[in-house]
Structure 1
Amino acid sequence: MSSSTNALQDAASVDDFLNAAATETVPLFKHLEFEFLLEYDVFAPARRGRTRVHQPPDLFRGFLHCYYKNIYGTRLVTRELQHSLVWYYCGLDKPPSRDTIDRFLTDLEHVVDNVFDRLVEQAAARGLLDSTYSIDSTHVEAIQYNDAASWNYDPTAEEHYYGFGCTIVSTGEKIPIAAEFTQTKQADQETAMRVTRDALAVDTPIWMLGDSAYDILDWHDHLLAAGVVPIAPYNPRNADDPLDIEYRVENRIAEHSEDVQLNHSILDETYNHRTGVERTNDAVKGCGLGHVRARGRVHARTEVYVALCLRLVVAITNYERGNDPGCEKL
C-alpha cells in the first residue's frame, strides 16, 4: 500500500489529509474557488465528434501549483502532475497526459482574460486596490525555439533580449489590475490607451502614474476627462519648442482650466510612488512572467496571464489568512 494511501486512511477527512500534506500551495486551492471557469465554453468538441474534457478548475489549480513552484513548460508541468499527492489535491481524477495539458493551455487562451478579470474583481471586493494606479511595460523573455518572438532592446537594462513585452497597470500591494501582452517591451499609444481604459473600468483612482513614455496628449486628456490626475514626466523631445514644465499635466491643466492650481511638491511626492509598478513587475516575474517556456505567441500569452493570475491568487490568499497581501510567498 502506498504512503499516500496510508496518509489518506489516517486522515479524518480530505481536508485533514490536505493539511497533513503540508504543501505550501494548499491555500491556493482551499481558500479560493475557480468554478467560474466552468461558465465559459472551453469544452469545444474536437474533430470527428470526440468531446474534450479537461476539468478546467482542476487543471488550472495544477498550473498555479507548478508556477508557484517555478515549474514551467508543458513537459515539466505534466511531469509534476504525475505525482500522486499533486494531482489528488488539485482535484484531478488521474494524472493528466501531456496532450491533455497542451489542449487545456490552448483552450485556456480563449478565457484567460476573463479569469484574470474575475480575480481582479475579487481583489477589489476585498479592498486591495488604492487610489493610485501606475502603468509600465516590462520585458518577457522567450525560449529560442519560439519563432513568434523577436529580438528587442530593453532601455532600462541597456541590453537586447529575445522575447515579447507586457504592459501592466498596478495598484495597492503589487496588485496587477490590467495588462496587455505585446510583441515588444515598448507599448504603442493604442496599447497604452487600451490598458488604461481597462484599468479605469475596474475603479476610478485619483492618480495615474507613468514614466516619460506616457507623455501622450490623448492619454492625459482621457484621464482628466475621467476625473483622474495623470502624472508623467514631460519629454521635451516630443516638441519643437519645449515647454518650461516638469509634468505634462501642468500644461494640460493650464490650457483647459484657469481655476485649478497644481501643487508641484504634491506631484513630485505622488510620482515617487511609481516604483510600485516596478515592484509589481518583479513580483509577477517571480510567478512565471520572467521567462515563458511556451512555443508560439498564443501559448506564450496564455502563460503570461497565468503568471498574472497567480500573483493575484497569492495576494488574495495572504489577505484571507490575515497576512500581508504584498508578500510574494504564502
Structure 2
Amino acid sequence: MVNEFLNAAATETVPLFEHLDFEFLLEYDVFAPAGRGRTRVHKPPDLFCGFLHCYYENVYGTRPVTRELQHSLVWYYCGLDKPPSRDTIDRFLTGLEHVVDDVFDRLVEQAAVRGLLNSMYSIDSTHVKAIQHNDYASWNYDSTAEEHYYGFGCTLVSTGPKIPIAAEFTQAKQTDQETAMRVTCDALAVDTPIWMLGDSAYDILDWHDHLLAAGVVPIAPYNPRNTDDPLDIEYRVEDHIEEHSKDVQLKQSILDETYNRRTGIERTNDAVKDCGLGRGRARGRVHARTEAFLALCLRLVIAITNFERGDDPGRERLKL
C-alpha cells in the first residue's frame, strides 16, 4: 500500500518537469562541488525538481525532504541518479539562497512567453508564518485576519491565472514605501500593464507618480488619514488625472469595476500558500526567504504545466 502511494505521488509530479527548462541552474557557480577536483554528485536541476516534488506533496524542511527523496520511485522520477544525503540537501539549499531570485525570474519569463500574463497587475502583502524556533521572526498583527502571528511577510504582484511575477520577503506583513516601489519596479520590468491595483496601503504619491509616468493607471483607494485636509475623491488617481491631464477622464464606475477585480491577488496569495508559503521549517531569515521563493516557483511551475497539458493554468493542483 505504501509503495502504491509513493508511486502515485511520484508519477503525479513527473509532468511538473516535462515542459520546463531547469538547466539554467547549471550556470550558477554556487552549485559547484565543494572541493577542488571533486565531481558533482547531483545536478542542481535534479535537486530543484526534488524540492518541487516535496513541496507539492507538503513535505518541508531539510530532514523531511531528505527522507522523502530516499524513496526509490521518488528520486528516480525527479531525475536523480541516487538518493541525496542530508548534507547534499543542505548545501543545495544554501547555494539556492544566492540565486533564488534569478530562478524565480527565469520561471516568470517562461510564463510570460506562454502568454499567461495579462494587462492587469495587482499588488498586496500576505503573512508568512514561521516556526517558534526561528529567532529571526517576530510577532506581527494581521489586520485582515484580525490576529497576531509569529513570522514574516511577503509582498506580491500577480496577474493572469494566479501568476506571481514579482515578490519580496519582508520582516512583517505591512509593506513600507521602499518595498512597494521596489516590487512594483520589478513587476514593470517583466511587462507594462494597463492597470495596477492595490489597497489603501498603496495610497502613496511616489507609487502613483511612477506608474503614471510609465503609462500605467494605478487604482488604490484614497486614504484620508494621510492628510489633514482630505480630498473629495475615492481613488488617488482621480486627483492626479485632474491635476496633470485635461484630456483624460476616468469614470467612477470604471474605476470601481476595475478595482473590484483586485480579488485576483488574494486568490494568488491562497494558491502560493497552498504551495508551501509559510510552511517551511527554516530557523533563519535567509533560509525562510529561500523557502518562500521555492513556494512561488512551485506555483509558477504548476500554472505552466497545466497550461502545457491543455488544462486551466489557474488550477492549484495538477489534473490527473
TM-score of the pair, normalised by structure 2: 0.95
| Amino acid in the other structure paired with 2:57 | K
* Residue in 2 that maps onto 1:291: 279
Deviation per CA, 1:261-309: give whole Å up to 9, x if none: 1111000000001000000000000000032211101110000000000
Distance 1:49 1:145, change over 3 A: farther
Q: Is the 8 A contact 2:157 2:265 kept in 1?
A: yes
The 1-side partners of 2:299 and 2:232 are apart by 41
Q: Is the 8 A contact 1:43 1:51 kept in 2?
A: no
Q: Is the 8 A contact 2:42 2:81 kept in 1?
A: no
The 1-side partners of 2:92 and 2:162 are apart by 28
Q: Is the 8 A contact 2:10 2:74 kept in 1?
A: no
Distance 1:51 1:146, change over 3 A: farther
Which runs of 5 or more structure 1 residues have no equivalent in the other structure?
A: 5-18
* Residue in 2 that maps onto 1:64: 52
| Amino acid in the other structure paired with 2:270 | D
Q: Is the 8 A contact 1:43 1:54 kept in 2?
A: no
The 1-side partners of 2:37 and 2:148 are apart by 47
Deviation per CA, 1:222-252: give whole Å up to 9, x if none: 0000000000000000011000000000011
2:96 aligned residue (108, 123, 137): 108
The 1-side partners of 2:78 and 2:99 are apart by 20
| Amino acid in the other structure paired with 1:193 | M
The 2-side partners of 1:45 and 1:21 are apart by 30
Q: Would you say 1:167 and 2:130 are equivalent positions?
A: no
Q: SS of 2:149's equivalent?
A: strand
| Amino acid in the other structure paired with 1:238 | N
Deviation of 1:48 after TM superposition, in Å, equals 8.3
Deviation per CA, 1:171-212: give whole Å up to 9, x if none: 000000000000100111000000000000000000000000
Q: Is the 8 A contact 1:205 1:228 kept in 2?
A: yes
2:247 aligned residue (251, 259, 277): 259
1:191 aligned residue (171, 174, 179): 179
Deviation of 1:31 after TM superposition, in Å, equals 2.1
The 2-side partners of 1:74 and 1:59 are apart by 12
State, as a whole percentage, how many aligned pairs show the same letter. Answer: 86
* Residue in 1 that maps onto 2:79: 91
* Residue in 1 that maps onto 2:230: 242
* Residue in 2 that maps onto 1:75: 63
Q: Is the 8 A contact 1:140 1:292 kept in 2?
A: no
Q: SS of 1:167's equivalent?
A: strand
Deviation of 1:255 after TM superposition, in Å, equals 1.3
Q: Is the 8 A contact 2:50 2:69 kept in 1?
A: yes
The 1-side partners of 2:72 and 2:215 are apart by 53
Deviation per CA, 1:81-134: give whole Å up to 9, x if none: 000011111111111111111111010011111111011001010000000000
Deviation of 1:47 after TM superposition, in Å, equals 6.8
* Residue in 2 that maps onto 1:309: 297
The 1-side partners of 2:160 and 2:9 are apart by 32
| Amino acid in the other structure paired with 2:250 | L
Distance 1:145 1:238, change over 3 A: same
Q: Would you say 1:38 and 2:26 are equivalent positions?
A: yes
Q: Is the 8 A contact 2:42 2:80 kept in 1?
A: no
Q: Is the 8 A contact 1:176 1:280 kept in 2?
A: yes
2:210 aligned residue (216, 222, 227): 222
> Larger Cα Rg: Structure 1 or Structure 2?
1
1:132 aligned residue (120, 137, 156): 120
Q: CA RMSD in A?
A: 2.0
| Amino acid in the other structure paired with 2:223 | N
Distance 1:20 1:241, change over 3 A: closer
How many pairs align? 316
